[in-house]
A and B are shown apart, each in its own frame.
Chain A
Amino acid sequence: QQQVKQSPQSLIVQKGGISIINCAYENTAFDYFPWYQQFPGKGPALLIAIRPDVSEKKEGRFTISFNKSAKQFSLHIMDSQPGDSATYFCAAKGYNFNKFYFGSGTKLNVKP
Protein backbone atom coordinates (compact mmCIF):
# COMPACT_ATOMS: atom_id res chain seq x y z
CA GLN A 1 0.00 0.00 0.00
CA GLN A 2 1.42 3.33 -1.08
CA GLN A 3 1.16 5.68 1.87
CA VAL A 4 2.14 8.86 -0.02
CA LYS A 5 1.04 9.56 -3.59
CA GLN A 6 2.86 12.23 -5.58
CA SER A 7 1.97 14.00 -8.82
CA PRO A 8 2.83 14.86 -11.49
CA GLN A 9 5.54 12.39 -12.43
CA SER A 10 7.26 15.04 -14.55
CA LEU A 11 6.88 18.78 -14.97
CA ILE A 12 8.20 21.30 -17.48
CA VAL A 13 8.12 24.96 -16.49
CA GLN A 14 9.47 28.06 -18.15
CA LYS A 15 12.05 30.13 -16.31
CA GLY A 16 10.28 32.54 -13.98
CA GLY A 17 7.16 30.41 -13.76
CA ILE A 18 5.64 28.64 -10.77
CA SER A 19 6.25 24.94 -10.27
CA ILE A 20 3.64 23.06 -8.25
CA ILE A 21 4.02 19.49 -7.02
CA ASN A 22 1.29 17.75 -5.07
CA CYS A 23 1.24 14.94 -2.54
CA ALA A 24 -1.56 13.13 -0.76
CA TYR A 25 -1.31 10.79 2.19
CA GLU A 26 -3.60 8.15 3.56
CA ASN A 27 -2.51 7.65 7.13
CA THR A 28 -3.34 10.25 9.74
CA ALA A 29 -0.55 9.12 12.06
CA PHE A 30 2.03 11.36 10.40
CA ASP A 31 3.61 14.27 12.21
CA TYR A 32 6.20 15.68 9.83
CA PHE A 33 6.19 16.34 6.08
CA PRO A 34 9.53 17.10 4.41
CA TRP A 35 10.39 17.73 0.78
CA TYR A 36 13.66 16.53 -0.69
CA GLN A 37 15.52 17.71 -3.78
CA GLN A 38 17.75 15.31 -5.65
CA PHE A 39 20.21 16.16 -8.40
CA PRO A 40 21.60 13.42 -10.67
CA GLY A 41 24.32 11.46 -8.96
CA LYS A 42 23.55 12.90 -5.54
CA GLY A 43 21.59 11.78 -2.52
CA PRO A 44 18.29 13.51 -1.71
CA ALA A 45 18.78 16.75 0.24
CA LEU A 46 16.26 18.24 2.64
CA LEU A 47 14.64 21.27 1.02
CA ILE A 48 11.83 22.37 3.32
CA ALA A 49 9.52 20.72 5.84
CA ILE A 50 6.27 21.37 7.68
CA ARG A 51 4.41 20.03 10.70
CA PRO A 52 0.64 19.45 10.55
CA ASP A 53 -0.22 22.26 12.97
CA VAL A 54 0.86 24.81 10.33
CA SER A 55 -0.95 25.45 7.03
CA GLU A 56 1.90 27.10 5.17
CA LYS A 57 5.64 27.50 5.41
CA LYS A 58 7.79 29.65 3.19
CA GLU A 59 11.56 29.64 2.76
CA GLY A 60 12.80 31.90 0.01
CA ARG A 61 11.21 30.83 -3.27
CA PHE A 62 9.93 27.56 -1.80
CA THR A 63 6.55 27.24 -0.07
CA ILE A 64 4.76 24.25 1.40
CA SER A 65 0.97 24.42 1.60
CA PHE A 66 -0.62 21.89 3.93
CA ASN A 67 -4.30 20.89 4.06
CA LYS A 68 -4.81 18.58 7.02
CA SER A 69 -8.51 17.88 6.37
CA ALA A 70 -7.84 16.88 2.76
CA LYS A 71 -4.63 15.02 3.71
CA GLN A 72 -2.76 16.88 1.01
CA PHE A 73 0.36 19.00 0.85
CA SER A 74 2.11 20.71 -2.00
CA LEU A 75 5.40 22.35 -2.90
CA HIS A 76 5.37 25.64 -4.78
CA ILE A 77 8.54 26.95 -6.36
CA MET A 78 8.16 30.59 -7.27
CA ASP A 79 10.25 32.23 -10.00
CA SER A 80 11.53 28.82 -11.07
CA GLN A 81 15.12 28.75 -12.33
CA PRO A 82 17.03 26.30 -14.52
CA GLY A 83 19.09 25.44 -11.43
CA ASP A 84 15.92 24.11 -9.82
CA SER A 85 15.81 21.32 -12.40
CA ALA A 86 15.95 18.19 -10.27
CA THR A 87 13.78 15.42 -8.91
CA TYR A 88 11.62 16.32 -5.93
CA PHE A 89 10.29 13.86 -3.37
CA CYS A 90 7.67 14.45 -0.75
CA ALA A 91 7.68 12.37 2.40
CA ALA A 92 5.70 11.80 5.56
CA LYS A 93 7.02 10.67 8.94
CA GLY A 94 5.05 8.41 11.23
CA TYR A 95 4.61 9.23 14.90
CA ASN A 96 6.43 6.12 15.95
CA PHE A 97 9.98 5.01 15.24
CA ASN A 98 10.91 7.87 12.88
CA LYS A 99 9.63 5.90 9.90
CA PHE A 100 9.44 7.85 6.63
CA TYR A 101 7.27 7.16 3.60
CA PHE A 102 8.35 8.67 0.29
CA GLY A 103 6.42 9.71 -2.77
CA SER A 104 7.47 8.41 -6.17
CA GLY A 105 9.14 11.65 -7.20
CA THR A 106 8.59 14.49 -9.69
CA LYS A 107 11.20 15.30 -12.28
CA LEU A 108 11.20 19.05 -12.80
CA ASN A 109 12.72 20.64 -15.88
CA VAL A 110 12.90 24.43 -15.91
CA LYS A 111 13.52 25.70 -19.42
CA PRO A 112 15.59 28.88 -19.89
Chain B
Amino acid sequence: EAGVAQSPRYKIIEKRQSVAFWCNPISGHATLYWYQQILGQGPKLLIQFQNNGVVDDSQLPKDRFSAERLKGVDSTLKIQPAKLEDSAVYLCASSLQGPIYFGEGSWLTVV
Protein backbone atom coordinates (compact mmCIF):
# COMPACT_ATOMS: atom_id res chain seq x y z
CA GLU B 1 0.00 0.00 0.00
CA ALA B 2 1.46 3.33 -1.02
CA GLY B 3 1.89 5.91 1.72
CA VAL B 4 1.04 9.58 1.81
CA ALA B 5 2.91 11.40 -0.94
CA GLN B 6 4.04 14.99 -0.61
CA SER B 7 5.90 17.40 -2.86
CA PRO B 8 8.11 19.27 -2.99
CA ARG B 9 10.25 17.88 -0.17
CA TYR B 10 12.25 21.08 0.21
CA LYS B 11 11.59 24.69 -0.69
CA ILE B 12 13.47 27.89 0.01
CA ILE B 13 11.70 31.16 -0.74
CA GLU B 14 12.07 34.79 0.14
CA LYS B 15 9.59 36.45 2.46
CA ARG B 16 6.51 37.79 0.72
CA GLN B 17 6.80 35.16 -2.00
CA SER B 18 4.26 32.39 -2.42
CA VAL B 19 4.60 28.61 -2.20
CA ALA B 20 2.31 25.65 -2.75
CA PHE B 21 2.54 22.13 -1.37
CA TRP B 22 0.81 19.12 -2.79
CA CYS B 23 -0.42 15.99 -1.03
CA ASN B 24 -1.79 12.69 -2.27
CA PRO B 25 -3.28 10.67 0.60
CA ILE B 26 -3.47 6.92 1.00
CA SER B 27 -6.08 5.55 -1.39
CA GLY B 28 -9.52 5.41 0.17
CA HIS B 29 -8.70 7.62 3.14
CA ALA B 30 -11.55 10.09 3.56
CA THR B 31 -9.86 12.34 6.10
CA LEU B 32 -6.89 14.49 5.13
CA TYR B 33 -4.89 16.72 7.45
CA TRP B 34 -2.32 19.43 7.05
CA TYR B 35 -0.06 19.99 10.03
CA GLN B 36 2.66 22.53 10.64
CA GLN B 37 5.65 21.33 12.65
CA ILE B 38 8.18 23.85 13.85
CA LEU B 39 11.54 22.40 14.83
CA GLY B 40 11.41 20.88 18.31
CA GLN B 41 7.63 21.04 18.60
CA GLY B 42 4.70 18.73 18.06
CA PRO B 43 2.53 18.86 14.94
CA LYS B 44 -0.02 21.67 14.93
CA LEU B 45 -3.20 21.12 12.94
CA LEU B 46 -3.78 23.71 10.23
CA ILE B 47 -6.76 22.20 8.44
CA GLN B 48 -8.68 18.95 8.36
CA PHE B 49 -10.80 17.74 5.46
CA GLN B 50 -13.45 15.04 5.48
CA ASN B 51 -13.73 14.07 1.82
CA ASN B 52 -13.71 17.52 0.19
CA GLY B 53 -15.37 19.37 3.06
CA VAL B 54 -13.52 21.29 5.77
CA VAL B 55 -13.94 19.87 9.29
CA ASP B 56 -11.60 22.20 11.14
CA ASP B 57 -9.57 25.17 9.96
CA SER B 58 -9.62 27.13 13.20
CA GLN B 59 -5.82 27.40 13.38
CA LEU B 60 -5.24 28.19 9.72
CA PRO B 61 -3.98 31.79 9.26
CA LYS B 62 -6.53 32.54 6.64
CA ASP B 63 -5.05 35.87 5.66
CA ARG B 64 -2.09 34.05 4.11
CA PHE B 65 -2.79 30.32 4.08
CA SER B 66 -5.32 28.52 1.93
CA ALA B 67 -6.00 24.86 1.25
CA GLU B 68 -8.26 22.90 -0.99
CA ARG B 69 -9.08 19.30 -1.60
CA LEU B 70 -10.64 18.89 -4.97
CA LYS B 71 -12.70 15.77 -5.64
CA GLY B 72 -11.95 14.52 -2.14
CA VAL B 73 -8.53 13.12 -3.03
CA ASP B 74 -5.43 15.30 -3.57
CA SER B 75 -4.92 18.48 -1.62
CA THR B 76 -2.91 21.66 -2.03
CA LEU B 77 -1.75 24.01 0.73
CA LYS B 78 -0.74 27.50 -0.34
CA ILE B 79 1.04 30.26 1.54
CA GLN B 80 0.91 33.78 0.14
CA PRO B 81 2.69 35.94 1.16
CA ALA B 82 5.15 33.94 3.23
CA LYS B 83 6.64 35.27 6.46
CA LEU B 84 9.84 34.27 8.19
CA GLU B 85 7.86 32.50 10.93
CA ASP B 86 6.32 30.18 8.35
CA SER B 87 9.62 28.29 8.20
CA ALA B 88 8.59 24.81 9.26
CA VAL B 89 7.80 21.33 8.03
CA TYR B 90 4.36 20.96 6.52
CA LEU B 91 3.06 17.48 7.13
CA CYS B 92 0.18 15.96 5.26
CA ALA B 93 -1.58 13.01 6.83
CA SER B 94 -4.59 10.87 6.09
CA SER B 95 -6.83 8.43 7.87
CA LEU B 96 -9.83 6.22 7.36
CA GLN B 97 -10.66 5.27 10.93
CA GLY B 98 -8.15 4.84 13.73
CA PRO B 99 -4.58 6.02 13.20
CA ILE B 100 -3.42 8.77 10.93
CA TYR B 101 -0.54 8.20 8.57
CA PHE B 102 1.92 10.96 7.78
CA GLY B 103 3.87 11.81 4.70
CA GLU B 104 7.56 12.66 4.81
CA GLY B 105 6.77 16.36 4.98
CA SER B 106 7.60 19.43 2.94
CA TRP B 107 10.39 21.52 4.46
CA LEU B 108 9.95 25.25 3.99
CA THR B 109 12.62 27.82 4.69
CA VAL B 110 11.64 31.47 4.34
CA VAL B 111 14.60 33.84 4.09
Contact = CB atoms under 8 A, between A and B. Distances in A.
Interface in B27-43: 31, 33, 40-43
B104 A42 contact: yes
Interface residues of A, number: 21
B interface, size bucket: 20 to 34
B102 to A, nearest CB: 4
Given A43-B102, A43-B104, A99-B48, A104 B55 contact: no
A102 interface: yes
B50 A97 contact: yes
Interface string A34-64: 1010000011111001000000000000000
Given A46-B99, A49-B99, A97 B48 contact: yes
Interface in B60-111: 91, 93, 95, 97-105
Interface of B: 4, 31, 33, 40-45, 48, 50, 55-56, 91, 93, 95, 97-105
